[in-house]
Amino acid sequence: MEKTKELQQVEEKFQTFQILDEQGKIVNEDAMPELSDEQLKEMMTRMVYTRIWDQRAISLNRQGRLGFYAPVAGQEASMIGSQFALDKKDWILPGYRDIPQIYYHGLPLHQAFLWSRGHFQGGQIPEGVRVMMPQIIIGAQITQTAGTAMGLKKDGEQQVAVTYTGDGGASQGDFYEGMNFAGAYNLPAVFIVQNNRFAISVPVEKQSAAATIAQKAVAAGIHGEQVDGMDILAVYAATKEARDRGIEGNGPSLLEFMTYRYGPHTMAGDDPTRYRTSEEDDEWEKKDPLVRFRKFLEEKNLWTEEEEEKIVEQAKEDIKASIKDADAAPKQKVTDLIDITYADAMPETLQEQRSEFEEKESK
Amino acid sequence: MAQMTMIQAITDGMRSELKNDEKVLVYGEDVGLNGGVFRATDGLQKEFGEERVFDTPLAESAIGGLAHGLSLTGYRSVMELQFFGFVFEAFDSIAGQMARLHHRSGGVYNAPVTIRSPFGGGVKTPEMHADSLEGLMAQTPGLKVVIPSTPYDAKGLLISAIRENDPVVFLEHMKLYRSFREEVPEEDYSIPLGKADIKREGSDITLIAYGAMVHTCLKAAEQLEKEDISAEVIDLRTVSPLDVETIITSVEKTNRAVMVQEAQKQAGIASNVVAEINDRAILSLEAPVGRVTAADTVFPFAAAEDTWLPNEKDVAAKAKEIINF
């Protein structure tokens, strides 16, 4: 397909924003966000913690001690950096892979594990933690985010609603509708696309002829930006700016984070060697967000091997304890499931069924 | 008291709740300045402002998503789908998301959303406007489905629906919007969801219906009266959950029943009603429970409506068949 001049001009407007290169060197000093040494270290701590969590989750899944799990290794900068730019009172509407963000927003780890296993207590978000449980229907979280952002705006809160989807998700109707609604109402929303190049086995090139996903913002008339998703400083800076744009009344933003998952799509039998080459994997491993940020911090004398070891140990201990907490959750009964179906009084026909199951459960 | 058409009673119900609860929002395609394609929201934007009553872009799925998202921040939505045939665009938002929100959050979140939408045949609308799709909604746990047949019921049920903390699909039959007037109190009042209403007392047979078919059954009952058959007419008002008690009490009295719906035989909720009667009152039955429904085809081309839609002759004939079983 030969590209028209108009198309080339559009594509040129969506260059990848980067602050830290693969060697951990600052390549865009002007864009450097203001972060204290402590904050920088905290970001690295969270990335290391999440990498270990991912490794343990894969292993626990293989042992049958976790259920549904969508690996996150490779996407730490994209996930951690964007959540780090938020305020605790911002809302997060995650997709099914976006567990780290809602964990750092306040969802206890053992509940994340219960969600993975398929237990209703995993979805019982603690009071005051402004997150939704992970969304399985790809795109649904995008239109819902427009609604949540509208609520925040109506309440006069200086907060945003943030949502995540993948590169495949950008093909859904709800993706366009959600961004378009947020634009039409000038809402404080941030739409994040984590482009890890594959939707299960389908490469992003097969999703769309568009050179970037960021440029899809043009269809909604909102700000769009492509960001190096393996660079936590760029992810943080872009998210913070999008957040500011929202709360200052300048509307929603679409951020495309260029990232990669080192693992399979999910642990449900996906085998990435069927659709990815080892050359591609090697190339992206050189971009590892942990490696470059570690180099950056070491250069500033902010990071040591001992510190990292301590975090690794801490993560392993926490996971062990949280799995134990998850194990302690009571087995679900049909009566429990009946009780949570309606917010108001349950229909009489359901009350009858409840009595039947109660009787069965008492035996 | 005032004489109101059903559409006026619906507007009145929304006005009442916009007044009573500042968290109530009314929105959809053309519901603002225009006052709705049927004038259901006429004057509401002027009275309550654009912050409370507003238009949306033309996208049903996102209207549902908007309602879902607004629920998280404590708002109570009355969203309109212009015609219920367009629900397929919003199916995930309603059945896949809002209906499940309370359950999937283990009771932490809920969607206090009323989905108002016109449907129903007899007014020669173009394709996908008149289809009876309540059966799809009635099959979804977490939803309630309400279908009024009179102005009085419409206002009281709509106020209840808006106050409900679970999502309610509120379907308004287009043929009934302006077909007659009725005394409707000007103050607010509510009619409990899930409660049927006996629109006519009778002793020989129970006719169970909802929507426009309630009036079809009342006409059929008049015809049957001339032949000394006393028909009791039950208006379900809420098609999910069913008011099983009212149905069974009536059937135990009359020992015969016919379930009447405008939807196709394979659709609607008639088979649920028949099954409940069979489960609970088979020993009272002198004959099988009859069904009057439309044929299992796509909703007809406008010019074929009159021959396709069930009418009072069909109901009277079926009632006699059941009585003479």
List chain B pLDDT tens, one digit each, 325 residues: 899 999 999 999 999 999 999 999 999 999 999 999 999 999 999 999 999 999 999 999 999 999 999 999 999 999 999 999 999 999 999 999 999 999 999 999 999 999 999 999 999 999 999 999 999 999 999 999 999 999 999 999 999 999 999 999 999 999 999 999 999 999 999 999 999 999 999 999 999 999 999 999 999 999 999 999 999 999 999 999 999 999 999 999 999 999 999 999 999 999 999 999 999 999 999 999 999 999 999 999 999 999 999 999 999 999 999 999 9
Is residue A295 predicted with pLDDT exceeding 90? yes
Residue A227 bridge partners (DSSP): A17, A257
Look at residue B205 in the predicted model and tell me its pLDDT: 98
d(CA A225, CA A193): 10
Tell me whether residues A180 and B244 touch, CB distance under 8 A: no
Q: What is the mean pLDDT of residues A65-93?
A: 97
Residue to mutate among A89, A143, A190, with most B CBs inside 10 A, is A143
Which chain B positions have a beta carbon within 8 Å of A142's beta carbon? 65
Tell me whether residues B109 and A344 touch, CB distance under 8 A: no
Tell me whether residues A140 and B93 touch, CB distance under 8 A: yes
Look at residue A330 in the predicted model and tell me its pLDDT: 98
Tell me whether residues A177 and B61 touch, CB distance under 8 A: yes
Helices A232-247/A37-62 angle, 10° precision? 110
Task: Read off φ and ψ for residue A328, nearest 5 degrees.
Answer: -80, -10
Tell me whether residues A174 and B65 touch, CB distance under 8 A: yes
Look at residue B1 in the predicted model and tell me its pLDDT: 82
Residue A194 bridge partners (DSSP): A166, A257
Query: 3-class SS at A46?
Result: helix
Tell me whether residue B128 is exposed, middle or buried, using C-beta atoms within 10 angstroms of its C-beta: 0 to 12, 13 to 18, 19 or more. Answer: middle
Which chain B positions have a beta carbon within 8 Å of A177's beta carbon? 57, 59, 61-62, 65
CB-CB: which of B65, B92, B105 is closest to A147? B65
Residue pair B269/B240 in contact (Cβ under 8 Å)? The answer is yes
CB-CB: which of B65, B97, B102 is closest to A146? B65
Which chain A positions have a beta carbon within 8 Å of B107's beta carbon? 124, 339-340, 343
% helix / strand / coil in chain B, to the nearest 5? 40, 20, 40
* Length of chain A counted residue by residue: 363
Residue of A nearest to B92 (CA): A140
Determine the longest span between alpha carbons in chain B, in angstroms: 60
Residue B241, preceding bond cis, omega within 30 degrees?
Answer: yes
d(CA A230, CA A292): 9
Query: In angstroms, what separates the C-alpha of A361 from chain B's closest C-alpha?
Result: 20
Tell me whether residues B244 and A125 touch, CB distance under 8 A: no
Which chain A positions have a beta carbon within 8 Å of B249's beta carbon? none
Question: Long-range contacts for B125-130 (Cβ within 8 Å, ≥24 apart)?
Answer: B125/B83, B125/B174, B125/B302, B126/B302, B127/B85, B127/B299, B128/B83, B128/B85, B128/B86, B128/B299, B129/B83, B129/B85, B129/B174, B130/B83, B130/B85, B130/B174, B130/B299, B130/B305
Tell me whether residues A123 and B105 touch, CB distance under 8 A: yes
First to last CA, chain B: 45
Query: In angstroms, what separates the C-alpha of B5 from chain A's closest C-alpha?
Result: 30
Tell me whether residue A37 is exposed, middle or buried, using C-beta atoms within 10 angstroms of its C-beta: 0 to 12, 13 to 18, 19 or more. Answer: exposed
Per-residue confidence band for A1, with pLDDT thresholds at 50, 70 and 90: confident
Look at residue A122 in the predicted model and tell me its pLDDT: 98
Active site positions of A, annotated = 261, 265, 275
Look at residue B14 in the predicted model and tell me its pLDDT: 98
Look at residue B91 in the predicted model and tell me its pLDDT: 98
Tell me whether residues B73 and A154 touch, CB distance under 8 A: yes
Residue of B193, B195, B167, B3 lying closest to B87 (CA atoms):
B167
Cβ–Cβ pairs < 8 A, chains A and B? 138
pLDDT tens for residues A142-185?
Answer: 999 999 999 999 999 999 999 999 999 999 999 999 999 999 99
Stated as kind and residue range, the H or E segment containing B239 is strand B238-240
Task: Read off φ and ψ for residue B145, nearest 5 degrees.
Answer: -125, 120
In this structure, what is the dihedral angle of CA atoms A272, A278, A283, A289, given to the nearest 10 degrees? 40
Query: 3-class SS at A172?
Result: coil
Instruction: Identify the contact set of chain A against chain B, taking CB-CB distances under 8 A.
Output: 91, 93, 120-125, 132-133, 137, 140, 142-152, 154-155, 161, 173-174, 177-178, 180-181, 184, 337, 339-344, 347-350
CB-CB: which of B66, B72, B102 is closest to A341? B102
The residues, ordered by sequence, that sit 6+ positions from B206 with a Cβ below 8 Å of its Cβ are B231, B232, B233, B234, B247, B250, B251, B253, B254, B256, B257, B258
Tell me whether residues A144 and B97 touch, CB distance under 8 A: yes
Residue to mutate among B73, B78, B269, with most A CBs inside 10 A, is B73
Per-residue confidence band for A91, with pLDDT thresholds at 50, 70 and 90: very high
